[in-house]
Amino acid sequence: MPKRYLAGILTVLLLILAACTPPGMPTPTVAPTQTPEITTPLVISEVQAGASGNNNLEFIELYNTITEPLDLEGYALVYRLAASREDLPIHAWTESAPVPAHGHCLLVRAGQEVGVVPDAEFDQPLNTKGGGLALVDPQGNVVDSVGWGNAPEAFVKRCLH
């Protein structure tokens, strides 16, 4: 079939398709992928559950996402293995412990050196093969959680795309 016939057929098809679209109908667009909003001003930003050659070299870092200090008094951090429903205490703040605006709070396994002075220490070992941490606010609500390896489902966030 000659190219001029193909061009003519394509033009007619495009005109027919254009006529089938109702006037005033919006052009379809693809929505951009939404980044989940942070729902709490305090998040678990980093976890190390042991290191090669030293399973006790563990730390947990919290981050204050807002532009004002946030007091940790009344908050608690708990740990759970995947096969368990029991929360094991990591640390509970019973006194005022302000985290600066856009600042961090560092918890280190007792007796371990990480190169900086920690804000608090903990004794509960973290399993390198899996587990989960939850940050609980003074009202008893889980405000942030993280899981690694074989993690407890309740502590793993689901992302929708």
> Whole-prediction pTM value?
0.71
Query: How many angstroms separate the CA atoms of 93 and 110, rounded?
Result: 16
Q: Which residue has the higher pLDDT, 145 or 154?
A: 145
Order of all β-strands in the sheet with 130-136: 88-92, 76-80, 130-136, 142-149
Provide mean pLDDT across the span 28-47: 63
Amino acid at 146: V
Within its chain, how far is the Cα of 142 from the centroid? 13
CATH 2.60.40.1260 fits domain 42-155: yes
What's the mean pLDDT in 15-43?
A: 51
**DSSP H helical segments within the chain, as ranges?**
3-20
Domain boundaries, the chain: 42-155
pLDDT, one tens digit per residue, over 86-116 is 899 999 999 999 999 999 999 999 999 999 9
